[in-house]
Every structure is written in structure tokens, then in C-alpha cells.
């Protein structure tokens, strides 16, 4: 009889311990902690904003006024050559941004890749003409130097954005 009671005691103790482990305060806190760490780490993970197809979608044009002109492959803004300037010169009354970002575009004429500096022109209200948005090799905003959706007039005295020029600054071939 005593052995049976011991056995029943052990079984009951084991099941109470298991239940405490699964449903106890400490395991609940551990689970909440895990979710908090995962929640904090998730936004830090890199993500692909291209949708898998955007980069392959650009068909080039020979018209410098067209968004599809090869040099504009990573330009996000108003084309300065639609706003009284040229491909690489700011319109009168605006000044070129002191900081910029550099993209890489392939010239269909010679097949070579070129470094293109996208400078914003500053100090006049937004031009509003020829809005283009191509993002080849662009990366999300937390990598600021390789992101184009930024007002590069930020370092100028006149921080108002007017339009964007695209100046070739070198060959990417090396
Ligand atoms: N670099 C063009 C631009 C200017 C202002 C806001 C977004 C993008």
C-alpha cells in the first residue's frame, strides 16, 4: 500500500512540475522576452524594395528629356533639362548641391558602365516638370549614401529642392 502511495505521489509531483514549467511565470516571461528581442531585431534586417522586377524594367531612350534616358537610371526627381538647365547644369537662379549620390548606369551606345553624380539644384521652388524615378542599384534609406530619395540640398545654405542634374564623373570599368 505504501509503495502505491509513493508511486502516486511521484506521478502527481512530476505532472505538477511539468505544468509549472509550461505555464509558470518564468516561462511566460522568457517567451515575452523572446518576442521582444525578435521584434526589435526584425526592422534591422535588410529587405528588397525592388519587387524583383523593377531593375530589369528600364528600357532606354536616346531622348535626354525622357526619364528612360540611360543616364537617369538612378535619378529620383525633376530633370533639370526640363526646368531651364541642362543635363549637368542647374537652371539659372539655382545652385548645385554640395553633397550628392553617385549611381552606376550603362550607356547602351558603348555598353560601358559610368558613374553618374546626381546633384540636386537648390534655392528655387520645386520645378514640377519631368518627374522621374529610376532606382538602379539604389538601396534603402538607412544606407543614406546609396539612397536617392533624399534632398541633397540639405548641406547648402539654400535647402529648397528645385531639380536634379546627372553629371558623368567617371567610368565604372576601373
Ligand atoms: N534627390 C531628389 C529629391 C529631393 C527631395 C526629396 C526627395 C528626392
Ligand 1, atom nearest to 76 Cα: 2
For 159, list phi and psi in degrees, rounded to 5: -95, 0
Alpha-carbon distance of 28 to 45, in angstroms, equals 26
Residue with cell 560601358: 112
State the pLDDT at residue 166.
96
Higher pLDDT, 4 or 151: 151
Does ligand 1 come within 6 angstroms of the Cβ of 152?
yes
Residue of the CA atom closest to atom 2 of ligand 1: 77
Q: Of 130, 146, 144, 132, give the one whose Cα is nearest residue 72.
A: 132
Q: Which among 7, 63, 70, 101 is annotated as catalytic?
A: 101
Q: What is the pLDDT of residue 23?
A: 66
The pLDDT of residue 51 is 44
Q: Please tell me if the CB atom of residue 100 comes closer than 6 angstroms to any atom of ligand 1.
A: no
Given a cut of 70, whether residue 37 has pLDDT beyond it is yes
117, 145 Cβ separation under 8 angstroms? no
Of 51 and 124, which is predicted with more confidence? 124
Which of 166, 145, 7 has the alpha carbon at shortest distance from 72? 166
What's the confidence (pLDDT) of residue 52? 42
Q: Which atom of ligand 1 is nearest to the CA of 101?
A: 1
Per-residue b or e along 13-27, where b marks 16 or more CB atoms closer than 10 Å to that residue's CB = eeeeeeeeeeeeeee
pLDDT tens-digit series, residues 89-138: 999 999 999 998 888 999 999 999 999 999 999 999 999 999 999 988 77
Amino acid at each position: 500500500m505504501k509503495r502505491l502511495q509513493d508511486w502516486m505521489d511521484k506521478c502527481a509531483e512530476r505532472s505538477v512540475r511539468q505544468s509549472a514549467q509550461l505555464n509558470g511565470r518564468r516561462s511566460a516571461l522568457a517567451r515575452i522576452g523572446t518576442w521582444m528581442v525578435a521584434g526589435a531585431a526584425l526592422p534591422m534586417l535588410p529587405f528588397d524594395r525592388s519587387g524583383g522586377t523593377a531593375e530589369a524594367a528600364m528600357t532606354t531612350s536616346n531622348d535626354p528629356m525622357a526619364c528612360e534616358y540611360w543616364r537617369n537610371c538612378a535619378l529620383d526627381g525633376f530633370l533639370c533639362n526640363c526646368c531651364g538647365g541642362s543635363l549637368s547644369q542647374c537652371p539659372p537662379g539655382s545652385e548645385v548641391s554640395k553633397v550628392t549620390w553617385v549611381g552606376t548606369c550603362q550607356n547602351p551606345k558603348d555598353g560601358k558602365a559610368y558613374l553618374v553624380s546626381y546633384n540636386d539644384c537648390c534655392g528655387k521652388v520645386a520645378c514640377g516638370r519631368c518627374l522621374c524615378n529610376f532606382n538602379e542599384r539604389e538601396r534603402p534609406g538607412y544606407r543614406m549614401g546609396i539612397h536617392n530619395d533624399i534632398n541633397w540640398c540639405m548641406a547648402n545654405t539654400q535647402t529648397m529642392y528645385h531639380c536634379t542634374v546627372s553629371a558623368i564623373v567617371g567610368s565604372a570599368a576601373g
